[in-house]
Amino acid sequence: MTAKTSESRAHAALHAVAEPAERLTLAQAVNQALRQEMERDPSVLVLGEDVGRDGGVFRVTEGLLDAFGPDRVMDTPLAESGIVGVAVGLAAAGYRPVAEIQFMGFMYPAVNQLFAHVARYRNRSRGLFHLPMVVRMPYGGGIHPPEHHSESYESLLLNTPGLKVVVPSNPADAKGLLLSAIRHEDPVVYLEPKRIYRAFREEVPTAAVPIPLGKARVAREGKDVTIVAWGSMVRQALEAHEALGREGVSAEVLDLRTLNPLDLDALLQSVEKTGRAGVVHEAPRNSGFGAEIAALLQERALLSLLAPVQRVAGFDTVFPLSLLEAHYLPHRERVVAAVRRTLEF
Amino acid sequence: MTAKTSESRAHAALHAVAEPAERLTLAQAVNQALRQEMERDPSVLVLGEDVGRDGGVFRVTEGLLDAFGPDRVMDTPLAESGIVGVAVGLAAAGYRPVAEIQFMGFMYPAVNQLFAHVARYRNRSRGLFHLPMVVRMPYGGGIHPPEHHSESYESLLLNTPGLKVVVPSNPADAKGLLLSAIRHEDPVVYLEPKRIYRAFREEVPTAAVPIPLGKARVAREGKDVTIVAWGSMVRQALEAHEALGREGVSAEVLDLRTLNPLDLDALLQSVEKTGRAGVVHEAPRNSGFGAEIAALLQERALLSLLAPVQRVAGFDTVFPLSLLEAHYLPHRERVVAAVRRTLEF
Amino acid sequence: MPKRTIYEAVTERLEILDKDGKADKALVPRLSDEQFRTLYRNMVWMRRFDEKALNLQRQGRLGTYGSLRGQEAAQAGLALAMEDGDWMVPSFREHGIMMLRGIPGHLIYAFWKGDERGSRFPEGTRCLPPAIPVGSQLLHAVGVGLALKLRGEDSVAVGFAGDGASSEGDFHEALNFAGVFRPKTVFYIQNNQWAISVPFKQQTAAGSIAQRAHGYGIPGIQVDGNDVLACYAAAKEALERARSGEGATLIEAHTYRMENHTTADDAKKYRPPEELEYWSQRDPVARMRVFLQSRKLWSEAEEASFLEEASARVDRDVEALEAMPAPHPSEIFDHMYSELPWNLVEQREALLNEVGR
Amino acid sequence: MPKRTIYEAVTERLEILDKDGKADKALVPRLSDEQFRTLYRNMVWMRRFDEKALNLQRQGRLGTYGSLRGQEAAQAGLALAMEDGDWMVPSFREHGIMMLRGIPGHLIYAFWKGDERGSRFPEGTRCLPPAIPVGSQLLHAVGVGLALKLRGEDSVAVGFAGDGASSEGDFHEALNFAGVFRPKTVFYIQNNQWAISVPFKQQTAAGSIAQRAHGYGIPGIQVDGNDVLACYAAAKEALERARSGEGATLIEAHTYRMENHTTADDAKKYRPPEELEYWSQRDPVARMRVFLQSRKLWSEAEEASFLEEASARVDRDVEALEAMPAPHPSEIFDHMYSELPWNLVEQREALLNEVGR
Ligand SMILES: Cc1ncc(C[n+]2csc(CCOP(=O)(O)OP(=O)(O)O)c2C)c(N)n1
Ligand SMILES: Cc1ncc(C[n+]2csc(CCOP(=O)(O)OP(=O)(O)O)c2C)c(N)n1
Ligand SMILES: [Mg+2]
Ligand SMILES: [Mg+2]
């Protein structure tokens, strides 16, 4: 609660320039960004499974079909490779498709198109063709669904050069970052933390105010330790910040917002200040992006590190079905414990 | 040359028990392992594109069709998802398929089968079904081919729990590790460093002597620094060892052999001894497996580390076509330079 | 004639019961009265099982659930045609036939409750765990069918998928591999007209899924999926073909999803009520009842006792479900590999310490 | 009749020139003498270009090269049917038609030499870079064709693939999307009978690729791919259909790969010599020459001058290729994104220091 309100204050501040604002959920913020970009730019198209008449299984594209018609909001056949592959052609021929993969767990059939083509087209054609397209994917756990509906595969995207990867953690960022992603000239994979689609409302500027890609956000200032997180896990980091605060530990929370390109300066600045760091993600620990964060910190800030960078991650297992899901997901206590390890090292 | 001969001596020694031996290339060693397992166990099958009549585009499966017939050596249609998906059914119903993906660069269409099914079947069925299957993939650069024929995607496999990942660096290991992989009860992705398929011959035990999975190999003993490598990059590490030796630097070369499960003990033991480490791989640096190695070392050996773990990796770019390939691939001088950075830190 | 015909074939549809349950005598399969009764009873049982699941879900005793209402004939007809040793390679809406093939109902409920133990079926049931990534499992059905052929076994693998799944690349690869390798496989596609909110006519411009078979050199047939006799007959023929080594068949069971896609869905948003009306008039259970009546194989009294029996079985399933102890947290780790690697040992330890074993 | 027909599938094949080049008068497309000559000349040119490439490769002046020998008619016929504004979405064996569509030969050679600059085509050529993952590009052709439809452009996108590629899931997804969205797209499948060492009959149990169209609600036709007039006529019809908004067509050009798969392959290991013999007797260039002769459109003298002209053009391509400066190492980084992120700045710097700029 307190975390929530103080966070929204933080945003209100960040976006003070951009009043008037309204209180939206993350899902509504994404919807508004899509709507505003489609109004602004006729070359923006939306395609995917159930994005039209149904308005998306999370109701994120609700109302777009009525507003823009079936030529700009396309319910596709059930085929992820087809969705991304057709988007490639649309983008190469001058459109700005925003493709939806219904759940990141169903990204796999699209991996050939995404990794072999979307990520490579500009380089392959030495700049003649580039693909200004966005692939939206709800990701992560917390909604108690069947198998394959809870996964976080960002690490796979990050070892594949050519894709920008953006992950908002709150409604205001969700809107501002998506605006930038749609206007961006490089392909962007835009990951939506589905567990917080409706978890809370926050002030979101009514106007279309893009938030630049590649810039992290200090969600909480602190001096003893840096907690690095993105997307859904920022909530856990903020809760840990509150809990640690009560123990007199001042934890800085760095919300990366963009995973590629990483905001290295913000990362180093924070850790050089605090001397301690932990990184939180839902994906399995092994070869997860937390490893890259730790590797970079020991590479570039070893002498500032008073303790090993701690990783709080999913287990190196399949994401469990709902009865065991709560055991898998990183939570406040695990973040707090990791921070303690850095303090007690 | 010296590296080569001294290395083969090292192996000859390692396998002293296993005489008689013959001098084979890595490709011949893989072929021999397949042949011996197919003779030993009628449930072992080989399937893939061009593996039959053609004997494989690298001639690795040469002679198997004639020896075992079309029911056990299947030339499949051109469809990677089909190859792996059909292998899943064969394995679930009691066979031990060894599927080939012609190049790791064409793994993407098979990722849904490999990651959503092969890696998960045992867990999904709570142990009722498991998949004793191997997926062989020639990987890595150095052969000057068209696009998609040079890639190293091991990091994608490693962030996906459920797959054992094995990478031999020499003919003797190639045979011994493949024997274990085929006999193993868990699915194994077996990566073959195509650039050294025929680069050299070494003593390989004629008998079928499995080399256990999950055990790294100290390819060279050293006391000043540990160079971690696998597959094709072990050559570069060994060349660096020689070059450094001439400068009086004693570099230990650790050949991981198995990437999942990682031989953590061997890794820590070596680095706690040397206090310095570098890791070499062809895949892009960002979120590559080198990050995991560095993350683990700073997590578990921070106080032994006299310098940051150095990563010598491919660039965070698409793997270039042949005219620029040599600039991309890690080579001896880059490894030596990285080691110097650890010494001069 | 300028162009020369290089391929000519037709796609057929089989119907035995008309929409009101009147049978085409000539086509009625030679089954015993008891078998006719069984077909009907099994559908009644499935429907009970399904209604109970929806109930439990509403009460929060199950998670998201996918109803099979409307598809009872498609599953009961096939079930009667299958032999004991045959394999099932299901998608996620096959729980009706799974029950008929010996999978305990409480396990099926457990699956929908979010418990992996629900997919550990009794030894020998020869049913692979339900596959969620649509279409992908059809390749497994080809692999199993190929294994059966290679071993010279007398059994067949039946692979299931939906109309939406037929748009995935794996559908194509599976049918093409099946044409080439002639496995002991039957592809059983339940075309229930909807893939969540996408109607079949937006899923493909082909008028049927059955006609896809022309692209793979295997036989294909459409069957009235709400006609349990037709489903039985078509399945029987295809299973025999596979069993005798003549290769795979594509069966499209043309049926209808009477419920929401799952309990997480609201079909009112996208589905015209007239359509529901139209299909309600073709209810598979009602049609078979008319057939039984026409053969004097049905009575109020028997109906009542089926229902009671069915309800009792379903209640026992619920009891068994709720008697299952909570899964132990270590289950997250214990089935990943044949042995626990060091990282899972550590992570398992950490979790057990956290939850206090 | 027990079963009711719901679909009748007929697939046709178009041939105009017989194996010896004799034309079916009624079918000969209405083209000017100059156009007939052009078709022939273009094939001669392609063959020269191809022979030179094989030569360069043997001398180590090109890398692995994939010959198009035998497929000249399939590419020349289509090229003549296409309009200036049309798009090409090639695979890796379309260099013949790429040249005819204005892609400089030295760029094509550069591609096979291992130089990405070879895929930066001149502005406005409307040709996407060659795609190596087989089949995947057909989806791009659907996307481009859809863009053309949405913008109401009068152009068409032609997507290319081979017989092997038709087994990939993306082939299916592309044809199915095309049926549903009716893009301005033509699928042009050159069935050259081999996918490296796998013959077409092992690639699929379907007798043709053209008959796959029945599964997607789009027209499909097979054409004698060694008959340049038939290829032109079939392509023309399909392009017009797409142009006028009537949707996509699947064309199977039934031809033959006369060379090894690539210079890295040795077809002797798997290919019966009789087969080569059979197809040599159906050589596309020879057949068109006979046709020209029958129309008095050919003479020794002209032939000699074409050949000289073709050789001269090809030699200029080689000169242009070898006049290209070596690519700068920074090219590895410069086209990854719209701007260089910090990690590429660092890595680029490091490389430039290493090679000494
Ligand atoms: C590869 C993949 N993409 C998306 C989904 C999400 N999803 C679950 S069911 C479904 C619709 C399936 O339709 P159909 O194949 O007709 O089966 P039905 O639900 O009608 O039984 C979708 C899109 C999925 N499970 N798998
Ligand atoms: C997805 C994928 N898998 C494997 C390969 C390797 N490969 C290159 S060409 C080829 C055969 C292609 O045959 P076909 O589609 O008939 O085209 P052709 O070479 O005959 O022109 C294969 C298997 C590839 N390029 N892409
Ligand atoms: Mg359906
Ligand atoms: Mg071919």
The C-alpha angle D213, D219, D225, rounded to 5 degrees, equals 85
Residue A179 has what pLDDT? 98
The C-alpha angle C53, C58, C64, rounded to 5 degrees, equals 65
For C121-147, give the secondary structure using H, E and C. CCCCCCECCCCCCCCCHHHHHHHHHHH
CB A240 within 8 A of CB A220: no
Average pLDDT, chain C: 97
The beta-strand segments (E) located in B37-193 are 44-48, 73-75, 96-100, 134-139, 164-166, 188-193
Helical pair C228-243 and C33-58, crossing angle rounded to 10 deg? 110
For D308-348, give the secondary structure using H, E and C. HHHHHHHHHHHHHHHHCCCCCCCHHHHCCCCCCCHHHHHHH
Q: Indicate the burial class of B12 (C-beta count within 10 angstroms; 0-12, 13-18, 19 or more).
A: middle
Residue B19 has what pLDDT? 77
Residue B86 has what pLDDT? 99
Residue B290 in 3-state DSSP? helix
> Mutate which of C24, C166, C177, C211 to test chain D, going by most D C-beta atoms within 10 A?
C211
Average pLDDT over residues D290-301: 97
Residues D244-282 have pLDDT tens digits of: 999 999 999 999 999 999 999 999 999 999 999 999 999
Q: What is the mean pLDDT of each run of 10 residues along chain C (357 residues)?
A: 88 97 96 98 98 98 97 98 98 98 98 98 96 98 98 98 98 98 98 98 98 98 98 98 98 98 97 97 98 97 95 98 98 98 98 91
CA of D11 to the centre of ligand 3 (A): 29
pLDDT band at B17 (very low <50, low <70, confident <90, very high): low
Strands C194-195 and C198-199: antiparallel
CB A322 within 8 A of CB A292: no
Question: Which of D253, D293, D310 is closest to D37 using CA atoms?
Answer: D293
Residue D213 has what pLDDT? 98
pTM: 0.97
Residue A14 has what pLDDT? 54
Q: Name the percent of chain A lying above pLDDT 90.
A: 94
Identify any residues that bridge with D188 across adjacent strands, giving them in sequence order: D160, D251
CB C133 within 8 A of CB A109: yes
Distance CA A87, CA D177 (A): 12
Residue B4 has what pLDDT? 40
> C182 to chain D: nearest residue by CA?
D205
| Longest Cα–Cα distance in chain D | 82
C272 neighbourhood in chain A, CB within 8 Å: none
Tell whether ipTM is more than 0.90: yes
* pLDDT reading at A292 higher than 50: yes
Average pLDDT over residues B83-108: 98
Choosing from D117, D151, D270, D278, the catalytic residue is D270
Average pLDDT over residues A321-327: 97
pLDDT band at A248 (very low <50, low <70, confident <90, very high): very high
The C-alpha angle C176, C179, C183, rounded to 5 degrees, equals 110
pLDDT band at A6 (very low <50, low <70, confident <90, very high): very low
Whether ligand 1 lies within 6 angstroms of the CB of C71 is answered as no
Residue C1 has what pLDDT? 42
Residue D186 has what pLDDT? 99
Nearest-atom index, ligand 1, CA of C191: 16
D13 neighbourhood in chain C, CB within 8 Å: 3-6
CB A76 within 8 A of CB D177: yes
CB D78 within 8 A of CB D190: no
D336 neighbourhood in chain B, CB within 8 Å: 316-318
Whether ligand 1 lies within 6 angstroms of the CB of C95 is answered as no
Helical pair C137-150 and C169-181, crossing angle rounded to 10 deg? 10
CB-CB under 8 Å, A78 with C134:
yes
* pLDDT reading at A240 higher than 90: yes
Give backbone dihedrals phi and psi of A125, rounded to 5 degrees, phi first: -95, 15
Dihedral angle, C-alpha A18, A23, A27, A31, nearest 10 °:
-50
Distance CA D340, CA D331 (A): 12
Question: Would you report the helix, strand and coil content of chain C in percent, each value rounded to 5?
Answer: 50, 15, 40
Average pLDDT over residues B303-314: 98
Residue D25 sits at the chain C interface (C-beta within 8 Å): no
Question: Which of D24, D139, D42, D48 is closest to D81 using CA atoms?
Answer: D42
Average pLDDT over residues B19-35: 96
Residue A298 has what pLDDT? 98
Average pLDDT over residues A205-225: 98
Residue B2 has what pLDDT? 38
Residue A19 has what pLDDT? 77
Residue A17 has what pLDDT? 54
* pLDDT reading at B264 higher than 90: yes
CB-CB under 8 Å, C208 with D216:
no
CB A171 within 8 A of CB A28: yes
Distance CA C227, CA C236 (A): 14
Q: Identity (one letter) of the amino acid at B150?
A: S
Dihedral angle, C-alpha A74, A77, A81, A86, nearest 10 °:
-40
Whether ligand 1 lies within 6 angstroms of the CB of C165 is answered as yes
Tell me how long chain D is: 357
Residues D91-126 have pLDDT tens digits of: 999 999 999 999 999 999 999 999 999 999 999 999
Q: Give Cα A80 to chain centroid, integer Å.
A: 20
Residue D321 has what pLDDT? 98
For residue D31, what are the contacts with CB-CB under 8 A and spacing of at least 6?
D39, D80, D232
Q: How far from B277 is each of A3, B227, C189, CA to CA, in Å? A: 41, 6, 56
For B241-268, give the secondary structure using H, E and C. HHHHHHCCCCEEEEECCEEECCCHHHHH
Q: What subunits make at least 3 CB pairs under 8 angstroms with B?
A: A, C, D
Q: Name the percent of chain D lying above pLDDT 70.
A: 99
Whether ligand 1 lies within 6 angstroms of the CB of A49 is answered as yes
pLDDT band at D135 (very low <50, low <70, confident <90, very high): very high
Give the containing element (helix H, strand E) for C191: strand C185-191
Average pLDDT over residues D70-89: 98
Q: Which tokens is D36 given? A: 């007939």
Query: Measuring from atom 11 of ligand 2, which residue has the nearest CA?
Result: D195
D17 neighbourhood in chain C, CB within 8 Å: none
Residue with tokens 């053009």, as numbered in its chain: D313
Residues D136-159 have pLDDT tens digits of: 999 999 999 999 999 999 999 999
Residue B231 in 3-state DSSP? coil
Residue A282 in 3-state DSSP? strand
Give the containing element (helix H, strand E) for C179: helix C169-181
Residues B140-185 have pLDDT tens digits of: 999 999 999 999 999 999 999 999 999 999 999 999 999 999 999 9
pLDDT band at D356 (very low <50, low <70, confident <90, very high): confident
CB D207 within 8 A of CB C5: no
Q: What subunits make at least 3 CB pairs under 8 angstroms with A?
A: B, C, D
Q: In what order do the strands lie in the sheet with B251-255?
A: B217-220, B251-255, B225-229, B277-284, B310-314
CB-CB under 8 Å, A291 with B294:
yes
Query: Measuring from atom 6 of ligand 1, which residue has the nearest CA?
Result: A102
For residue D200, what are the contacts with CB-CB under 8 A and spacing of at least 6?
D163, D191, D193, D194
* pLDDT reading at D176 higher than 80: yes
Whether ligand 1 lies within 6 angstroms of the CB of C194 is answered as yes
User: For chain D, how big is the Rg over CA atoms in Å?
Assistant: 21
Residues C113-157 have pLDDT tens digits of: 999 999 999 999 999 999 999 999 999 999 999 999 999 999 999
